[in-house]
């Protein structure tokens, strides 16, 4: 029991060191580039999961630099955003970029959260039985 407590403390020190020397530098670089490239008059939106921490880190960076920009965390799934953006071709580079190998039907169900009824009312059976392979 005592050994696992000691090992835990050693591991915590190691992870803290890794965070402050590597992750901290990486996130500072990310924030700086984001600040430089994002139009200052437009707010940035950070999406669910890692977006919560990225938005907090971005605001911490801005505060340290004496700057203020609007940013927001949105607790929303990417699949939901893909679904509501299906008619906007600009979204395809995001919604279709991940690895996928299955039927068109499965792509519509998992990536775009379409229901069976929606798929069958929009596409013919031949279309949703097609096999799809994305890089």
Rg (CA), the chain: 21
Q: Does the reported pTM lie above 0.75?
A: no
Separation of alpha carbons 80 and 135, rounded Å: 22
Q: What is the pLDDT along the chain (135 residues), one digit of tens a residue?
A: 444 444 555 556 666 777 777 788 888 888 999 989 999 899 999 988 889 999 999 999 999 999 999 999 999 888 888 999 999 999 999 899 888 999 999 999 999 999 999 999 999 989 988 999 998
Give the span between the Cα atoms of 98 and 116, in whole angstroms. 22
């Amino acid at each position: 029991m005592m050994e696992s407590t000691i090992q835990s403390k050693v591991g915590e020190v190691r992870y803290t060191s890794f965070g402050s020397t590597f992750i901290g530098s990486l996130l500072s670089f990310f924030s700086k580039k984001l600040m430089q490239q994002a139009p200052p008059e437009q707010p940035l939106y950070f999406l669910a999961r890692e977006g919560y921490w990225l938005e907090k880190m971005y605001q911490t960076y801005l505060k340290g630099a004496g700057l203020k920009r609007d940013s927001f965390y949105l607790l929303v799934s990417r699949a939901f955003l893909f679904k509501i953006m299906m008619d906007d071709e600009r979204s395809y580079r995001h919604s279709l970029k991940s690895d996928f190998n299955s039927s068109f039907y499965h792509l519509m169900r998992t990536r775009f959260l379409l229901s069976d009824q929606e798929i069958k009312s929009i596409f013919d059976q031949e279309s949703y039985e097609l096999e799809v392979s994305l890089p």
